[in-house]
Amino acid sequence: MTALTVLGAALLGALTWTFMEYCIHRWLGHRWKRNVFGKEHTRHHSEGDYFAATPKKLGAASLFLAVTAPPAIWVAGALAGGAWAVGLVGFYGYYEWLHRRAHTHGPRNAYGRWVRRHHFHHHFGDPRMNHGVTSPLWDAVFGTLQEPGQIRVPRKLCMVWLKGPDGEIPPAFQADYALRGR
């Protein structure tokens, strides 16, 4: 029972993170941009391979833990509340890794392909769509889920993994992506 409680609470924490991931990206990244995250995010969009420095992300993780753990422990007790907060912050860490990996490395499975197409449609197709990175859940809930067609990537922002030795897109990715501009 205890193990089940801990597991359930941690999963709920991960789910809570996916909601925060959506809200932070959509509203702090794209709507009210004059905040620390908004500034970093604008730069991420314009430079493509720019990511906020690791200490800032560790700062964000500490902040998430500091604001979520005490009330959760107060409401649900040390075990369930603590597991929920750890699940939330742990999944935040997974999101950071997954997002960076999507930009730096090619897909290795169907989920990896989906993550990249979903996210690069947000970057290069329509930035008002596909705010979730780890899942389509909240985009579906809020009506911002869009199925990308062939994604047209600006040549100067093209991800390294999408470029063959000749600077063009390898045949394996041509159905999913095309280059535009010079």
What residues line the site for Zn ion (CB under 5 A)?
29
CA dihedral (89, 90, 95, 101) in degrees, to 10, reads: 140
Cα–Cα dist 59/108, whole Å: 30
Give the residue with the Cβ less far from Zn ion, 29 or 125.
29
Give the residue with the Cβ less far from Zn ion, 29 or 81.
29
Could you tell me if 145 and 129 are in contact, meaning their C-beta atoms sit under 8 angstroms apart? yes
CA dihedral (122, 126, 131, 135) in degrees, to 10, reads: -60
Residues 6+ apart with CB under 8 A from 163: 169
Give the residue with the Cβ less far from Zn ion, 43 or 180.
43
CB of 173 to Zn ion, least distance (A): 17
CB of 76 to Zn ion, least distance (A): 33
Give the residue with the Cβ less far from Zn ion, 29 or 132.
29
CB of 85 to Zn ion, least distance (A): 26
Cα–Cα dist 12/101, whole Å: 24
Question: Within 10 Å of residue 78's Cβ, how many Cβ atoms?
Answer: 11
Give the residue with the Cβ less far from Zn ion, 13 or 29.
29
